[in-house]
Amino acid sequence: MNNITYINNKFVKHSNAKISVEDRGFLFADSIYELIGVFNKEIIDTDQHLNRLDLSLKKVKIKYRFNKEKFKKIITKLIKLNNIFNGYIYIQITRGVAERKHEFPKKYKPTTIIFTKHLNIDKKIYEKGVKIITIPDLRWLRRDIKTTSLLPNVLSKQLAIEKNAFESWLIDNGNITEGSVSNAWIIKSSNTIITHPANNKILKGVTRDTVIKILKKNNFNIKERSFNLIEAKNAKEAFLTSSTLSVLPVVKIDNYNVSNGKPGDITKKIMYLYNNYIVKNKNSLAKELKIAWLNQ
């Protein structure tokens, strides 16, 4: 089946969605994007994602008539047209087509692309946890902008795959910042949880923010501060978060087992709390994942 994609005010077959070879998003990665999880045909944290999209546009100075309600209508229509049950919405906005010069064109018309994808989750990774490796963080210093300049992320993720790991955690000046496609967390004690502060060195994840709110509501002690590799390897437990992965246990860092190499009880509780949040938002991620510990 040929899915439908939205491009520049038109709904077209995905295979027919094209951009110019002179689009600045293609030539310079002069563009920003947003990825929103969809579970049981419901969009998760819609407003937070669209607010971040608008903020990214402002940070890279793309002049754009941003209309949140219009975006909501478009993505809702795409979910229906493409019959997305579990999947994601991808939004990209570029500075548009212009002569290849580094400076901004005086006049331009931004390119808007929105498409959907079905998401197949390997349920076993939630039950077993995943291994991550650590490597130097070689990215630029405006990681807070959700730009499509993702080559360092691509290379770090690929290195993890080549080393039979799920994800890479990146180290900047001795401290772990985040993963190539996720935010990084460690659990220091029964109720103290640490994640890197939301500054220019990480992308402030929407799921990250939601998890922080949930944890604070449930009397966890959240510390947004830097932590190094030694602290991570000696943590009681560890996990990662993202819009498509939700909360995922980390059980091995490089070749060092965390939480005896199994998802810990605190991480399981956090997964349960987040999944309850999803269920309350009228979708059934918890049921779809069928995680064994939910019924314990």
Q: Sheet holding 42-43: strands in order across?
A: 10-13, 4-7, 111-118, 86-94, 31-39, 42-43
Residue 44 to residues 36, 205, 244: CA-CA distances in angstroms?
7, 13, 10
Catalytic residues: 146
- Spell out where the chain has E strands: 4-7, 10-13, 31-39, 42-43, 86-94, 111-118, 130-136, 167-172, 175-179, 183-187, 192-195, 221-224, 227-228, 237-242, 246-253, 256-257
Give, in order, the Cα–Cα distances in Å from 274 to each of 44, 219, 238, 246: 12, 14, 16, 8
Strands 4-7 and 111-118: antiparallel
3-class secondary structure, 160: helix
**Closest residue by Cα to residue 176 from 226, 240, 239:** 226
The phi, psi pair for 285, rounded to 5°, reads -60, -45
- Angstrom CA distances, 280 to 44, 67, 158, stand at 11, 27, 35
Residue 106 to residues 55, 63, 196, Cα–Cα distance (Å): 22, 11, 38
